[in-house]
Amino acid sequence: MQTYNAQDIWMPPSDIRLRIFSDSAALVRCAASTLVSQCEEAIRHRGAFKIALSGGQTPLELFEALASNDWRNHFDWSRMHFFWIDERCVPPDHPASNFGMAHRTLLAHVPAGRVFRIRGELEPTQAAEEYAAILQTELGKGDDAPSKLTFDCVLLGMGTDGHTASLFPGAPQLEEKRHSVISALRHDGDVVLPEHHRVTLTLPVLNAARCCLVVVAGAKKREALHRALTFFSPPELPIQRIRPSEGEVIWMVDKAACLP
Ligand code: 6PG
């Protein structure tokens, strides 16, 4: 597995571990191996591994790898608890469903312990309130603030506009502090795009994670990745707001996503 010295290209803040891989297959191997280690540590110390997944296309190759014979036997699936970082407000069998994508590529093929999907078929606010209660039950120790709801890992992607989860540039949801889960609409600047409503975890929850694993792959992300890893002060892109208070943040990117 060849990796590249990231510091020759970008100078992100020192708390961000950046790893650049020759191709997406090498990235997936490293991401899978990282999840194996995190899972073993979480089960050993806390009895379960609690991970929140993103949707979109980037994680698809990783999910398929985890379900494959190369990796499936490295995990104690019965002790793995799956959650979602965000969801489109559609039924689980809808092509746009983040749960549906994870189910088709991973969860239908492994004996996962517990699966807590965001019920996209509900009215957005109701789905958000229901999921916030689930996070309190599964991660909280009473009536915990969002910043106390600690996942072992949150697996994040980045859109070509620098969004992550369903937190879009300039959106008011970026400043949410009181709620752990809220409804959102995709923005392009001040313009709300005519797309599905979404339900998303908020930054306090994402930044409470023990590990924020950001995966970015493909040439279409070059511009956003360059901006995200170069201009950090003040953070202009939602993905730059992923700065866990106590946990680690690891960026895994492939060479195709790096400017030549
Ligand atoms: C979503 C995702 C979103 C995703 C980025 C990147 O529901 O859309 O959770 O945050 O990670 O949009 O998507 P791609 O991996 O498809 O580029």
Q: What percent of the chain has pLDDT over 90?
A: 84
Binding site membership of 98 for ligand 1 (Cβ less than 6 Å): yes
Binding site membership of 57 for ligand 1 (Cβ less than 6 Å): yes
Q: Which two tokens stand for residue 89?
A: 């407000």
Binding site membership of 54 for ligand 1 (Cβ less than 6 Å): yes
pLDDT at residue number 78: 98
Return the closest-CA partner of residue 228 out of 258, 248, 200.
258
pLDDT tens column, 205-245: 999 999 999 999 999 999 999 999 987 778 889 999 999 98
Binding site membership of 159 for ligand 1 (Cβ less than 6 Å): yes
Per-residue pLDDT, averaged over 175-201, amounts to 88
Q: Which two tokens stand for residue 127?
A: 């789905």
Amino acid at 86: D
Atom number, ligand 1, closest to the C-alpha of residue 164: 10
pLDDT at residue number 9: 59
Confirm if 205 and 139 have CB atoms less than 8 A apart.
no
Per-residue pLDDT, averaged over 61-72, amounts to 98
Q: Whose CA is nearest to atom 15 of ligand 1?
A: 58
Amino acid at 169: P
Is pLDDT of 247 > 70? yes
- Choosing from 24, 85, 86 the residue with most ligand 1 atoms within 8 A of its CB, the one to mutate for a pocket test is 86
pLDDT at residue number 2: 45
Return the closest-CA partner of residue 115 out of 63, 57, 50.
50
Confirm if 50 and 156 have CB atoms less than 8 A apart.
no
Q: Which two tokens stand for residue 216?
A: 């970015």
CB within 8 Å of 149: residues ≥ 6 apart: 135, 136, 139, 140, 180, 205, 208
Question: Could you tell me the distance, in angstroms and rounded to a whole number, from the CA of residue 141 to the centre of ligand 1?
Answer: 30
Binding site membership of 207 for ligand 1 (Cβ less than 6 Å): no
Confirm if 55 and 155 have CB atoms less than 8 A apart.
no
Per-residue pLDDT, averaged over 164-184, amounts to 96
Alpha carbon distance 182, 174 (integer Å): 10
Q: What percent of the chain has pLDDT over 70?
A: 96
pLDDT at residue number 22: 97
Atom number, ligand 1, closest to the C-alpha of residue 156: 11
Question: Could you tell me the distance, in angstroms and rounded to a whole number, from the CA of residue 54 to the centre of ligand 1?
Answer: 7
Confirm if 165 and 199 have CB atoms less than 8 A apart.
no
pLDDT at residue number 235: 86
Q: How many CB atoms are closer than 10 A to CB 229?
A: 23
| pLDDT class of 1 with cuts at 50, 70, 90 | very low
- What pTM value is reported for the model? 0.94
Per-residue pLDDT, averaged over 104-117, amounts to 97
pLDDT at residue number 10: 72
Per-residue pLDDT, averaged over 58-79, amounts to 98
pLDDT, mean over the chain: 93
Per-residue pLDDT, averaged over 189-211, amounts to 90
| pLDDT class of 142 with cuts at 50, 70, 90 | confident
Q: Which two tokens stand for residue 155?
A: 């697996």
Q: Which two tokens stand for residue 143?
A: 């009536």
The secondary structure element, H or E, covering residue 115 is strand 114-115
Per-residue pLDDT, averaged over 29-36, amounts to 98
Tell me if residue 230 falls in helix, strand or coil: helix
